[in-house]
């Protein structure tokens, strides 16, 4: 199967000397969903920030066949859409529609095309009715959906979601899982919620001290690392 993301021997140290990534090898296939599990501080978010060039470590990263190099950054960012935990900070325009048009406009699309893409993306996430509302007033679950729509409007091949269930109540989490499972893009899902991961992922990897120390099904890894499926799911 075609790989949409290939990471080889990635190392990164923060400016204060903290070693955060210590040799990550990771491949994501077209249409595949992989859960990134691991303790707080194990390097998951740091890893994600390398995938669209927000951070630059040593090693190699290829996104849809493009090397992570400055001339490719714009094209890479169109292929890989990131939704961070605090998706609120990704919404900054006066209306929801303006927000989801921002990406396509930034890609150089016309206003009409951006609006068309934005509306279609809002439709996909079930937020078309909120196009004229102020993002600021939306609920956490609605904000998450709009942030995802903003990414979808750019027509990415990979979706990266860092702890997307944070701030969502159980029905909101289920609704998000139902939405994500319908989206055809390859996905990287960082979550502490093993049940959510299990519902969505084809496989999982486990981060420890900036390394991937195990790979398998969510169930296997949850058992091996005592990631309690019942407790996490019952939150
Ligand atoms: N800006 C920073 N400067 C220095 N060290 C940092 C910075 N951001 C993160 N770190 C450190 O890098 C390591 C990896 O952090 P990271 O945020 O990637 O972990 P994580 O797996 O995403 O954790 P969590 O599950 O808590 O979100 C930790 O030791 C953390 O303290
Ligand atoms: Mg994190």
Is 13:19 a contact under the CB 8 Å cutoff? yes
Per-residue confidence (pLDDT) for residue 45, from 0 to 100: 95
Nearest to 67 by CA among 84, 45, 50, 46: 50
As a whole number of angstroms, the distance between CA 91 and CA 97 comes to: 11
* Confidence (pLDDT) at 233: 40
What integer pLDDT is reported at residue 229 of this predicted model? 53
> 12: part of which helix (H) or strand (E)?
strand 3-13
Q: Which residues form the domain of 155?
A: 3-234
For residue 9, give both structure tokens.
Answer: 């021997």
CA of 46 to the centre of ligand 1 (A): 6
HSE-CB of 141 using CA atoms within 13 angstroms: 14
Distance (Å, whole) CA 147 – CA 27: 25
Ligand 1 center to residue 145 CA distance, Å? 26
pLDDT of residue 231: 43
Q: Which ligand has its closest atom nearest to the C-alpha of 84?
A: 2
pLDDT of residue 154: 94
Pocket test for ligand 1, best of 35, 46, 55, 165 (most atoms within 8 A of CB): 46
Which residues in the chain show pLDDT less than 70? 228-235
Give the CATH number, domain containing residue 85. 3.40.50.300
Please list every protein residue whose CB sits less than 6 Å from any atom of ligand 1: 14, 16, 18, 20, 38, 40-46, 207
> How many distinct structural domains can be found in the chain?
1
How confident is the model at residue 1, as a pLDDT?
80
**pLDDT at site 87:** 73
Residue 16's pLDDT is 95
User: Pairing mode, if any, of strands 158-162 and 80-83?
Assistant: parallel
């Amino acid at each position: 199967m075609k790989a949409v993301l290939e990471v080889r021997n990635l190392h990164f140290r923060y400016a204060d000397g903290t070693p955060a990534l210590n040799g990550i090898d990771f491949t994501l296939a077209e249409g595949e969903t992989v859960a990134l599990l691991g303790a707080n501080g194990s390097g998951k978010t740091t890893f994600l920030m390398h995938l669209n060039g927000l951070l630059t470590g040593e090693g190699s990263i290829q996104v849809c066949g493009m090397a992570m190099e400055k001339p490719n950054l714009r094209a890479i960012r169109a292929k890989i859409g990131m939704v961070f935990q605090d998706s609120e900070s990704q919404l900054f325009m006066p209306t929801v529609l303006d927000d989801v048009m921002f990406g396509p406009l930034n890609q150089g699309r016309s206003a009409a095309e951006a609006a068309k893409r934005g509306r279609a993306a809002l439709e996909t996430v079930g937020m078309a009715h909120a196009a004229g509302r102020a993002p600021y007033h939306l609920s956490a679950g609605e904000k998450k959906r709009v942030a995802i729509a903003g990414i979808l409007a750019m027509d990415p091949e990979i979706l990266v979601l860092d702890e997307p269930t944070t701030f969502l109540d159980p029905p909101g989490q289920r609704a998000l899982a139902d939405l994500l499972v319908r989206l055809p893009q390859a996905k990287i899902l960082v979550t502490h919620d093993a049940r959510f991961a299990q519902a969505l992922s084809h496989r999982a990897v486990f981060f420890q001290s900036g390394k991937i120390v195990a790979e398998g099904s969510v169930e296997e890894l949850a058992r091996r690392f005592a990631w309690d499926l019942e407790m996490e799911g019952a939150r």
